[in-house]
Amino acid sequence: MSEKPEYFYAETVMLARSFIEKMTNFCYLQVCDDEEYNKFLLHPYYRAFHNADKTKHAGEVKIQLKFAGKSDLKAMPVVSEALSIFSETNPRLNWSTFSLDEKVALLSARSSISPEFFLMNTLTIYSDASEALHGSLYGCALPTGKYIPGGSFGDVDAQRENILKNIALLYVQLGSLIHEMLKIFPENESVKELLIESNENHKNATALMKKIFGA
């Protein structure tokens, strides 16, 4: 990655997207209602039930993966409960109906986290990663910087400088997310010690972030 950052930049951004979702959900689960937390626990059983019989069509081609014991799954109380909350017929429901931004809003109301760092990540990293993930021209061209407002990096050196700047921002922003996550557990002594060190790192990271954005 360090020698040829342009080769896997889009993939790095996609991994960062996954990290952002996981960290946001992890923090959200610390403050959400019991009903929402229970849905989080039951959703895997709902998914397992539907994964036991899946069919795909492409034109005249059809493939199917089916677990011979699917009918026995409904006899399990935890699966039955999961299906009653989600759906026995619709296999594509998420465990929560709240968006990431709505989860961050609740986090902000019920904890001491700074929501701007979560929102910044969804505005920048998460948005770009969505395009890269789905193979749009914008996403595929992320390493070139061609479609970034104000950027038209035609030569290799300019592209490389832009990618290195973006990678630095990516690490700084994800680091800020980890710092905010630590603030969810202030009563834990071991976390308190980590938070003291993290506060200093966070100040330096924020200063670097401002400098990069202003460059």
Residue 169, pLDDT score: 85
18 shares a domain with 49: no
The range of the structural domain enclosing residue 119 comes to: 9-30+111-214
Surface-to-core class of residue 125, CB atoms within 10 Å of its CB (0-12 exposed, 13-18 middle, 19+ buried): buried
Same domain, 77 and 175: no
pLDDT on residue 93: 95
Unique residue bearing structure tokens 């790192």 = 201
- If we measure between CA atoms, which residue out of 189, 133, 152, 135 comes closest to residue 16? 133
State how far the alpha carbon of 28 is from the alpha carbons of 22, 48, 103, 123, 166, in Å.
10, 24, 6, 19, 27
| Domain presence at residue 3 | no
Q: Based on C-alpha coordinates, what's the Rg of the chain?
A: 21
Tell me the pTM. Answer: 0.82
Q: Greatest CA span in the chain, whole angstroms?
A: 63
- Considering the domain architecture, whether residues 142 and 66 belong to the same structural domain is answered as no
* Cα 124 from chain centre: 12
Residue 102 lies in a domain: no
Chain centre to alpha carbon of residue 157: 30
Do 67 and 16 sit in the same domain of this protein? no
Q: How many domains does the chain have?
A: 2
Rounded to the nearest 10 degrees, the angle between the axes of helix 156-182 and helix 115-123 is 150
For the chain, list residues with pLDDT below 70.
1-2, 5, 151-153, 186, 214-215
Domain check: are 44 and 80 in the same one? yes
